[in-house]
Amino acid sequence: MPSEKPDKVVRVTLNSSGLPVPSENPVHAEKDNQKIRWCADFDFTIEVDGYGDLTPNTNGSECRFKVTSGKFSEIKQYKYSIIANGRTNDPEIVIDPASSH
């Protein structure tokens, strides 16, 4: 069994037109082994199509606002939405097989 990886941290910023933009797209995480944490300096919402294990939390030490996923149990691509500032961006998450080391 692979050792658990640290959370994948994705910074969310607003571009010049106010659209929330992730620091990486697609976001890659390991199946059953890694959570994703989105961080921003402003309030935002994450919605992942077909996936409900999301925890919003504003008490982040590393960021003012954050949303953290649970671990993903399927190797697949997910469409997700970042909603902030009255705008929605629809990037992707790619779940990769767990590494063997």
Answer yes or no: are the C-beta atoms of 12 and 66 closer than 8 Å. no
Task: Indicate the domain borders of the chain.
Answer: 8-96
Calpha distance 65→43 (Å, rounded): 6
- pTM exceeds cut of 0.75: yes
pLDDT tens sequence for the chain (101 residues): 557 899 999 999 999 999 999 999 999 999 999 999 999 999 999 999 999 999 998 665 678 999 999 999 999 999 999 999 999 999 999 999 987 65
* DSSP-assigned letters across all residues of 43-96: --EEEETTB--EEEES--SS-SEEEEE----S-SEEEEEEEETTEEE--EEEEE
Q: Calculate the alpha carbon distances from 52 to 27, 44, 91 in Å.
A: 17, 16, 17
Q: 8-96 has which fold?
A: Immunoglobulin-like (2.60.40)
Calpha distance 16→22 (Å, rounded): 14
